[in-house]
């Protein structure tokens, strides 16, 4: 599967964290995971890897949470780990 392959490639390349970002019209199945940070390895404060497979009809994307990307958003890793708890499907965000 392409999504699993991408995550494995990112992890092998040394990427530690990703954030799943959604488009405005993505489905309710993907919605609980939108904007959430995920660790590609073990991390005490961040859920491990986004659940795969995600909906192929949605236009979500994985963004690498690099220091440059975070600073461009005015965020720190503490900001994204504070909101890194997985919601259950159907929970309001």
Q: What is the greatest pairwise CA distance in the chain?
A: 34
Q: How many CA atoms lie within 13 A of 12 on its CB side?
A: 6
* Overall pTM > 0.85: no
The pLDDT of residue 52 is above 80: no
Band of residue 80 on the pLDDT scale cut at 50, 70, 90: confident
**For residues 91 and 57, which has the higher predicted lDDT (pLDDT)?**
57
Rounded percentage of the chain residues whose pLDDT exceeds 90: 0
What mean pLDDT is predicted for residues 54-64? 75
| Of the listed ranges 26-30, 60-64, 89-93, the one predicted with least confidence | 89-93
- Report CA torsion sign: 8, 66, 91, 87: positive
Rounded Cα–Cα distance for residues 65 and 89 (Å): 24
Rounded Cα–Cα distance for residues 88 and 50 (Å): 13
Give me 22's structure tokens.
């959604």
């Amino acid at each position: 599967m392409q999504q699993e392959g991408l995550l494995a490639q990112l992890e092998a390349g040394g990427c530690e964290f990703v954030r799943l970002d959604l488009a405005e019209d993505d489905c309710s199945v993907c919605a609980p995971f939108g904007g959430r940070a995920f660790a590609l390895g073990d991390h005490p404060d961040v859920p491990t890897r986004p659940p795969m497979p995600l909906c192929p009809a949605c236009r979500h994307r994985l963004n690498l949470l690099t220091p440059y990307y975070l600073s461009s958003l005015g965020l720190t890793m503490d900001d994204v780990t504070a909101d890194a708890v997985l919601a259950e499907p159907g929970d309001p965000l």
